[in-house]
Structure 1
């Protein structure tokens, strides 16, 4: 094993200590809850880093898979709060209406956990197989995935009686039997989210140093050469796409008990673009860049967005443009650049901001 993987693994260890040991001691309950929310976005961002940074797939519709996990969890928590009764928002529209059939299985804890894992795998597997086998890529792939996020958000907004519509699902009292208002239980939920983020980082670290990781980068940079060597690029990209979708679903599932609400605004095109912006800001091809970038964007949205809601979007846009122009590999590439300037010598060319296969697709 080379030195670089050990450095990355040590970095994950330090990150774990900061999240799991230091943060609960030094942060107030409010900021610890916010940090848990940032961890949920970071989980989804780590998956985007795998699919986009290493696989060259600009996944602009991760809100779809974020929604699958979030609404699966929200439906279970809503039923847990309602008990044997029909959820309150349904009674407002029709006091005598029965519980919809697709809600009933979510009373089960086991079914809910399986849905959080299996739903994104099945949906991403079917979608990815249909697209990658037809060699859909580049801008066409990005637009199509974003269109799916818009369509799903619109569908949920229009089904008020079944999903709560634009107001979403909220007012959760329990989390698998634990009272959410209890500070100890809220700490437990935060620790679960932070632990899942560390596990996702470890999984991606293993992916990057495996033969599959090398094959994924080769598929990004020279897809036709990979096909010529006897590998099917569609299968390689499909695995990365499914893993990315699973991580987005896990992030969405933990987002619900931490934030206490899920609405179509959290899963639509704007939310998906914010995830992409965080990944690009941190550095899409690095291990920690996507997670740290997503957490930074989340902090900006919570802090600056509340005090300056109109200007926050412009700040994010300006920062995104500056990073793309001067740091195409994200803020994670800044330390390496500074070190190279201090020690002049032969410099390796940076990774291309756009994979050659994507560039040919855009030109055509």
Structure 2
């Protein structure tokens, strides 16, 4: 795969994912920057600012993980919890499209705003986060589930990798709005770094505390929360932790420049970027098939006074209208 010289000038590009490797540290990863696509999604729904921020984080995380798929399929992130944001769904359709939606408990959101409890953990509350890989009807879906206990999405993602993928990983997410000539626009960004050494011995858990050191003696360890003690991973992890939100959002700081700042001493290499875009999976045929899947009694209850059935897509807000006779004309569509 072609690589780019991180020291050379590069164009400013949004809505793309830049894969990279740092061979000297045995790490690989991706950087995502979402501009017009996430601004379209958040602007369309006009969520309150705290909700837009959390959904933007979820979108950046989903695109980071979804673009790793090596097949035609779908990666979905979904949360269900008892917080002001009762549910979020972000769909990524490989290789390059995504959509996102959030459901809000208005009363709980008002209470959170009044009390100032607006962190991601506060807004999600307690529940679960599920990440699903779906390769189509001919294969078994894979799903990893993480308990949400008022932690950030970054922390939930780290937990997912520890228990489901068993790959030492670090993720940074950032969401914010910037003022442009066209007004205020939403942006989101993310960085994923994973430790992938050639030798599996380097993934072994660190030794336990020896237990016989003299009282007051400090025992040094570079063990991280994944239980891995390795100098290369410790260095990579420390570098990731220096990334600031503005570095993920600044439209004048390219992903390649950020990677150069982090890893130039180790010889980071970047690969061909993957462009992503906002796009919904809904269609007239899909919605019609969904309606035909309801019982005759339920369909009858949906008919409006003018004899039509109307459905609005919760992702893209597109409105579909059908004559009652059209819905009754055939069997449910099969995806």
> Structure 1-normalised TM-score?
0.27
Larger Rg: 2
> Which structure has the higher relative contact order (CA within 8 Å, separation 6+)?
1
Higher strand share: 2
> Structure 2-normalised TM-score?
0.29
Higher helix share: 1
